[in-house]
């Protein structure tokens, strides 16, 4: 077990500091501290195992030796789902290196579902032309991947800063040299490293209805924007079509695997209205249109014909039975919910951002693999593939980006940036001397957050228009207030 105790003011300088403990961050930590032999630290807002990855019900899509499948098919499916905005080279990297990353995860101890006679049990999900998705526990894939990776990281990391909140990048001489992070008491510290890897996940908490846990609040993108690091495609929030329509938040997912096994989508009158295995954006738009047409706030997922539901999908079964529904007899109420951010920090094919010393992988990055819409079960895969590439590039001595992937296709100068703003509460008077940040008005913060979430859900959701986005912009400006920019 790594000793997490720290000297006054923070840990000793690190070779690599990773921000985030989902599949991307943990995969990077395992590889960096293992085969690369680097001194690794990891900062995470909650406990190590409490990330969005833990909530992931979908599986990992990869070509794993099935005769009817190929990387060319996986490439074609990914490009089709991305609506013409994927970077082809990035997708080739994803589908080509994905199988090896899955095998490494299995070697690390992750246990995936298998057929009774042996061999991985592969399923088909929306947008895939064939069955190529591996699952664990039916719909508990993220939890199993997180378990295996957390166990490995706890044995190898030099510093684990659980409950620490990274709030700003340390930039000196045009290079990222670490982060400012608040410890569990709210005191700021400089955590320095030769390289910083942002793997802080997405921003589902921008919306009132989301499948993401509370930690998914876009911190990594905010830190990058404050330092002028280009981001792109952040308008492409993916909405998962089959979130359980229930007051619980985050909304429980009813995995795409259900439709892969034959579950049907039905409207308020019980009629089918869309091909169940269409890409997520197609299904979500069709659902939004039908809900508007019929004047309802949810539709239905009919899984009553699925055999052995409780045994195949114990996690989902527990969720729906906890609210009094029997999946073998009852249709399940569903509505789209904010699920995955396809954009983020612009990176090259090795995860380098436009700022030397700063890398990004997973949902916080815009690597070019997802385009306008992510293909089902490509997210966990992306985290594993690009985390490995980040570590390999750092270990080889790379300092900054190369003209490849999204950085070549879009161009760093075309990304979105904002002026750098200093965060006075910890940047003034030395900043990292350990003085506690003055307490804010939590009630006022909650009110602002609620107003922003409601505006985003209403005006920047599945259905949006120029007028609705203008309304959201006005709310954002008002919520930020004078001098309260990101």
pLDDT tens figures, 135-176: 998 878 999 999 999 999 999 999 999 999 999 999 999 999
Q: What whole-number distance in Å separates Cα of residue 202 and Cα of residue 217?
A: 7
Mean predicted confidence (pLDDT) in 404-416:
67
Left, alpha or beta for 173 (phi > 0: left; psi -120 to 50: alpha)?
A: left
| Residue 239 scores a pLDDT above 50 | yes
Q: Are residues 168 and 228 in the same domain?
A: yes
| Residue 280 scores a pLDDT above 80 | yes
Q: Are residues 203 and 299 in the same domain?
A: no
Among the candidates 337, 354, 381, a domain finishes at 337
Mean pLDDT of all residues in the chain? 89
Q: Are residues 77 and 44 in the same domain?
A: yes
Q: Are 105 and 384 in contact (CB under 8 A)?
A: yes
Which residues, other chains included, contact 473 with Cβ-Cβ below 8 Å and sequence gap of 6+? Answer: none
pLDDT for 417 equals 53
Query: What does pTM read for this prediction?
Result: 0.89
Could you read off the pLDDT of 80-129 as tens digits, one per residue?
999 999 999 999 999 999 999 999 999 999 999 999 888 999 999 999 99
424 in a structural domain: no
**Helices (H), strands (E): how many in the chain?**
15, 17
Residue-level length of the chain: 486
**Where residue 294 sits, what CATH number does that domain have?**
3.90.700.10
Question: What residue numbers bound the domain in which 445 lies?
Answer: 439-480
Q: What whole-number distance in Å separates Cα of residue 454 and Cα of residue 460?
A: 10
Among the candidates 321, 337, 353, a domain finishes at 337
pLDDT for 419 equals 45
Q: Are residues 401 and 474 in the same domain?
A: no
Q: Are residues 232 and 152 in the same domain?
A: yes
409 in a structural domain: yes
Q: How many domains does the chain have?
A: 3
| Residue 426 scores a pLDDT above 50 | no
427 in a structural domain: no
Mean predicted confidence (pLDDT) in 357-371:
97
User: CB burial class (10 A; 0-12, 13-18, 19+) of residue 434?
Assistant: middle
Q: Are residues 126 and 197 in the same domain?
A: yes
> Which residue in this structure is represented by tokens 């609705």?
468
Among the candidates 297, 320, 337, a domain finishes at 337
Q: What whole-number distance in Å separates Cα of residue 87 and Cα of residue 43?
A: 30
Q: Are 74 and 63 in contact (CB under 8 A)?
A: yes
| Residue 6 scores a pLDDT above 70 | no
- Residue predicted with more confidence, 249 or 10: 249
Could you read off the pLDDT of 435-459 as tens digits, one per residue?
333 345 678 888 999 999 999 999 9
Q: Are 145 and 113 in contact (CB under 8 A)?
A: no
Q: Are residues 109 and 209 in the same domain?
A: yes
Degrees, nearest 5: CA angle 287-291-295: 175
Q: Are residues 78 and 206 in the same domain?
A: yes
3-state secondary structure of 31: helix
Closest CA relative to residue 133, chosen from 109, 108, 112, 149 = 112
Closest CA relative to residue 423, chosen from 240, 62, 166, 80 = 166
Q: What whole-number distance in Å separates Cα of residue 211 and Cα of residue 312?
A: 21
**Where residue 190 sits, what CATH number does that domain have?**
3.50.50.60
Is 280 considered catalytic here?
Answer: yes
Which listed residue (280, 312, 389, 398) is catalytic?
280
Mean predicted confidence (pLDDT) in 1-25:
73
181 in a structural domain: yes
Q: Are residues 298 and 348 in the same domain?
A: no
Query: Per-residue confidence at 11, pLDDT binned at 50, 70, 90?
Result: low
Q: What whole-number distance in Å separates Cα of residue 95 and Cα of residue 101?
A: 10
Q: Are residues 173 and 253 in the same domain?
A: no
Q: Are residues 213 and 352 in the same domain?
A: yes
Q: Are residues 123 and 190 in the same domain?
A: yes
1 in a structural domain: no
274 in a structural domain: yes
8 in a structural domain: no
């Amino acid at each position: 077990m790594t000793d997490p105790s720290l000297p006054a003011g923070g840990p000793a300088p690190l070779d690599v500091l990773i921000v985030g403990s989902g599949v991307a961050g943990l995969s990077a930590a395992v590889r960096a501290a293992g085969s690369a032999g680097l001194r690794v630290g990891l900062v995470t807002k909650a406990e190590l195992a409490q990330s969005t990855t833990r909530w992931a019900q979908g599986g990992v899509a990869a070509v794993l030796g099935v005769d009817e499948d190929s990387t060319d098919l996986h490439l074609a499916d990914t490009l089709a789902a991305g609506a013409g905005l994927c970077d082809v080279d990035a997708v080739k990297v994803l589908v080509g290196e994905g199988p090896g990353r899955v095998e490494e995860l299995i070697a690390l101890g992750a246990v995936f579902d298998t057929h009774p006679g042996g061999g991985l049990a592969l399923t088909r999900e929306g947008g895939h032309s064939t069955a190529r998705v591996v699952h664990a526990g039916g719909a508990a894939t993220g939890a199993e991947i997180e378990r295996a990776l957390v166990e490995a990281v706890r044995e190898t990391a030099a510093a684990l800063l659980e409950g620490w909140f990274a709030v700003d990048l340390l930039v000196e001489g045009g290079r990222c040299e670490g982060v400012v992070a608040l410890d569990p008491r709210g005191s700021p510290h400089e955590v320095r490293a030769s390289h910083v890897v942002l793997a802080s996940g997405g921003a589902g908490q921008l919306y009132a209805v989301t499948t993401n846990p509370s930690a998914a609040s876009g911190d990594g993108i905010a830190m990058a924007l404050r330092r002028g690091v280009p981001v792109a495609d952040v308008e492409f929030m993916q909405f998962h079509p089959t979130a359980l329509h229930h007051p619980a938040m985050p909304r429980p997912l009813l995995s795409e695997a259900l439709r892969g096994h034959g579950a049907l989508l039905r409207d308020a009158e019980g009629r089918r209205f869309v091909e169940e295995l269409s890409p997520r954006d197609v299904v979500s738009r069709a659902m939004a249109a039908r809900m508007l047409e019929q004047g309802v706030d949810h539709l239905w997922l009919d899984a009553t014909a699925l055999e052995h539901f409780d045994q195949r999908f114990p996690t989902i079964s527990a969720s729906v039975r906890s609210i009094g529904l029997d999946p073998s007899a009852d249709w399940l109420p569903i509505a789209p919910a904010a699920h995955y951010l396809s954009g983020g920090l612009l990176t090259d094919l090795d995860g380098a951002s436009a700022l030397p010393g700063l890398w990004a992988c997973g949902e916080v990055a815009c690597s070019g693999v997802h385009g306008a819409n992510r293909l089902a079960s490509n997210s966990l895969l992306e985290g594993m593939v690009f985390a490995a590439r980040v570590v390999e590039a750092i270990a080889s001595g790379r300092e900054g980006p190369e003209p490849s992937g999204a950085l070549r296709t879009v161009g760093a100068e075309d990304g979105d940036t904002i002026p750098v703003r200093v965060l006075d509460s910890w940047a003034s008077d030395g900043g990292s001397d350990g003085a506690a940040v003055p307490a804010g008005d939590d009630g006022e913060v909650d009110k602002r957050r609620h107003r922003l979430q409601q505006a985003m859900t209403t005006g920047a959701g599945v259905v949006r228009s120029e007028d609705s986005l203008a309304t959201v912009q006005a709310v954002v400006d008002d919520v930020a207030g004078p001098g309260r920019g990101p």
